[in-house]
Amino acid sequence: MKLTEILKLDKIKIDFNGTTKEEIINEMIDLFKGDERVTDIETIRTVVLEREKIMSTGVGNGFAIPHGKTNMVTEMVAGFGLLKNPIDFEALDGKPVNLIFMLIGQEDSVGQHIKMLSRISRIMNQELVRKKLLNASSTKEIFQIFEDEESKYLEIS
């Protein structure tokens, strides 16, 4: 499985209204309204926000990866957000966040979920990739950056 197989173009957002971590996470989750892969969006909202209460998913360098596992998705789904104005995400390095990658997996696919989180982290830990994403002006450009970067990795099984 490739990252670009679970991240759909319409699940990339570059215009946000929120200014807090919870508002931004809710806007990201709202990307999945009407998605046939999602059977209960409110359960997803609860799972992701509860996970965030345990420990911030703001991993540092302006990047966060809110995630969760629930059987209210029929397969792994992902969303990406580029914030024009960075927000406090209670990140591990204390810096504000403006790149957010959301991942929702099924409860029984823990191994695949962890592998995908690892792949996202490897890609996002590259300063050049973060700079490209921050300078992107469209959802298509963001998707292309992920496609280009992922071509350097083996497919996840």
Nearest of 95, 100, 94, 97 to residue 86 by alpha carbon: 97
Torsions phi, psi of 144, nearest 5?
A: -65, -40
Distance CA 117, CA 102 (A): 10
Known catalytic residue at 113: no
Q: What is the dihedral of CA 89, 51, 129, 87, to 10 degrees?
A: -10
Catalytic-role residue among 67, 113, 119, 130: 67
Give catalytic residue positions. Answer: 67
